[in-house]
């Protein structure tokens, strides 16, 4: 089975994390974000993946390679200019089989692709959209199905007081027949959601609703942290579960651990956790991170090589690679530090503040 993954965006909502690292290969827990999708696809029999890239495509290729480590063949296409979701698919036309999957690369999910493909075959569909229910549908466009699973209607984001008979949204995973490509003009910017799906209503467009699937669009700092926590807690089926084991803690043997690691947590290779410090719960330290004495890191992600001084508090935050945080500083409340940011002692970074790569803040220079 073949799949096309769209990863052409610049990940602007995740900046400054994506200012220096393309979003598909930003670390999520212990592996590149895209690795979860490739592992999930492989588990459902996909062996050929085409990645439609735009922003910093060379870096994506360097990190993911030819796909052999994931048990697949991985190829890359670079759009000459942004062409929308359908335009990107049309650009890949020469490489596509008679039937293939199309996927939004921003998603973390464990939905049952095998069952979706089986329904597609059973109904003789031209296209089958994976759908998931959401508790609050007011922020999404919705999909209404008929009893035979055919798509009846697409609903724009409803008003808060609207009376709804569906809470299903598109999960960004589609099984498509090659004939769908005939509906897309070449060399144009075309949206598959707004310009192709409506044309296919009553012409073979079906929905596959997976009520038990985990699904999240990892497109914002809040959702990035939530996805991290859900992976650590096992709320989504991933390969990380085996690494954490029944203790829900993984500390690399090369780590110098004088403090404590509280589950669920992952501590990468070559880290140093000083006496009196504690990491967790719900914390990830990438390789080479140093945590000073008396510091607390919880509900937080600290990426490769970052250094945290003594008596610091990091909570509900993301710290980029190579960042440095001085003694007694606090980074909380959804704050993000980009790559190489240097924070002196006695600073307070909170309220969703975003510090971009290379920024230096002197001792006591920022209370936000």
Residue 336 to residues 89, 295, 339, 348, Cα–Cα distance (Å): 33, 18, 10, 12
Provide the pLDDT for residue 23.
87
Q: How far apart are CA 163 and CA 149, in angstroms?
A: 21
pLDDT in tens, the chain (368 residues): 999 999 877 778 889 988 888 888 899 999 999 999 999 999 999 999 999 886 567 788 889 999 999 999 999 988 887 888 999 999 999 999 999 999 998 899 999 999 999 999 999 999 999 999 988 777 778 899 999 999 998 887 766 666 677 889 999 999 999 999 999 998 889 999 999 999 999 999 999 999 999 999 998 999 999 999 999 999 999 999 888 988 999 999 999 999 999 999 999 999 999 999 999 999 999 999 999 999 999 999 999 999 999 999 999 999 999 999 999 999 999 999 999 999 999 999 999 999 999 899 999 988 87
Place of tokens 């569906």: 166
Domains and CATH numbers, the chain: 2-213 (3.90.550.10), 223-361 (2.160.10.10)
Smallest CA-to-CA distance from 299 within 280, 286, 325 is with 280
- Is the Cβ–Cβ distance between 105 and 132 less than 8 Å? no
Sole residue written with tokens 């989504």: 236
Q: What Rg, from alpha-carbon coordinates, does the chain have? A: 22
The model's pTM is: 0.92
Contact (Cβ atoms closer than 8 angstroms) between residue 349 and residue 355? yes
Half-sphere exposure for 262 (CA within 13 Å, toward CB): 13
Pairing between β-strand 99-104 and β-strand 168-177 as defined by DSSP bridges: antiparallel
Integer distance in angstroms from the first to the last C-alpha of the chain? Answer: 51
How far apart are the C-alpha atoms of 328 and 40, rounded to whole Å? 41
Query: Contact at 8 Å (CB) between 40 and 109?
Result: yes
Q: Which residues contact 110 (CB under 8 A, 6 or more apart)?
A: 40, 213, 214, 236, 237, 238
- Residue 16, preceding peptide bond in cis (omega within 30° of 0): yes
List the structure tokens of 277.
């410090």
Name, in order, each residue with C-beta under 8 angstroms of 266's C-beta and a sequence gap of 6 or more.
29, 30, 232, 240, 243, 244, 249, 250, 251, 283, 284, 285
Report the pLDDT value the prediction gives residue 60, as an integer from 0 to 100: 86
Measured CA to CA, the distance from residue 213 to residue 53 in angstroms comes to: 27
H, E, C per residue of the chain: CEEEEEECCCCHHHCCCCCCCCHHHCEECCEEHHHHHHHHHHHCCCCEEEEEECCCHHHHHHHHCCCHHHCCEEEEEECCCCCHHHHHHHHCHHHCCCEEEEEECCEEECCCHHHHHHHHHHHCCCEEEEEEECCCHHHCCEEEECCCCEEEEEECCCCCCCCCCCCEEEEEEEEEEHHHHHHCCCCCCCCHHHHHHHHHCCCCEEEEECCCCCEEECCCHHHHHHHHHHHHHCCCCCCHHHHHCCCCEEECCCCEECCEECCCEEECCCCEECCCCEECCCEEECCCCEECCCCEEEEEEECCCCEECCCCEEEEEEECCCCEECCCCEECCCCEECCCCEECCCCEECCCCEECCCCEECCCCCEC
Say what the pLDDT of residue 57 is: 73
Cis status of the peptide bond prior to 221, with omega within 30 of 0:
no
pLDDT of 235 reads 95
Beta bridge partners of 291: 273, 308
């Amino acid at each position: 089975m073949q799949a096309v993954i769209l990863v052409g965006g610049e990940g602007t909502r995740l900046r400054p994390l994506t200012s220096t690292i393309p979003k598909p290969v930003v670390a999520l827990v212990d592996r590149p974000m895209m690795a979860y999708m490739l592992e999930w696809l492989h588990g459902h029999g996909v062996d050929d993946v085409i990645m439609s890239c735009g922003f910093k495509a060379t870096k994506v290729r360097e990190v993911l390679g030819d796909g052999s480590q994931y048990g697949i063949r991985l190829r890359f296409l670079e759009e000459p200019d942004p062409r929308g979701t359908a335009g990107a698919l049309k650009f890949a036309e020469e490489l596509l089989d008679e039937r293939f999957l199309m996927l939004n690369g921003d998603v973390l999910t464990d939905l049952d692709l095998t069952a979706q493909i089986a329904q597609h075959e059973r109904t003789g569909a031209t296209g089958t959209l994976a759908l998931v229910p959401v508790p609050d549908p007011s922020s999404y466009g919705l999909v209404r199905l008929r009893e035979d699973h055919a798509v009846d209607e697409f609903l724009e984001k409803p008003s808060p007081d609207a009376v709804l008979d569906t809470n299903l949204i598109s999960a960004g995973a589609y099984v498509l027949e090659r004939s769908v490509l005939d509906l897309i003009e070449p060399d144009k910017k075309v949206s598959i959601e707004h310009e192709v799906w409506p044309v296919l209503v009553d012409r073979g467009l079906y929905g596959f609703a997976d009520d038990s699937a985990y699904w999240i669009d990892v497109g914002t700092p809040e959702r990035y942290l939530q996805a991290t926590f859900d992976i650590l807690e096992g709320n989504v089926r991933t390969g990380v579960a085996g690494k954490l084991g029944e203790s829900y803690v993984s500390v690399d043997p090369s780590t110098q651990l004088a403090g404590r690691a509280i589950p669920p947590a992952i501590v990468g290779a070559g880290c140093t956790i000083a006496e009196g410090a504690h990491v967790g719960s719900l914390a990830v330290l990438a390789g080479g991170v140093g945590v000073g004495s008396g510091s607390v890191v919880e509900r937080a992600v600290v990426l490769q090589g970052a250094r945290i001084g003594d008596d610091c508090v990091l909570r509900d935050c993301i710290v980029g690679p190579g960042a440095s945080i001085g003694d007694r500083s606090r980074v909380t409340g959804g704050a993000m530090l980009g790559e190489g940011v240097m924070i002196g002692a006695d600073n307070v970074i909170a309220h969703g503040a975003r510090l971009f790569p290379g920024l230096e803040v002197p001792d006591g220079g920022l209370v936000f």
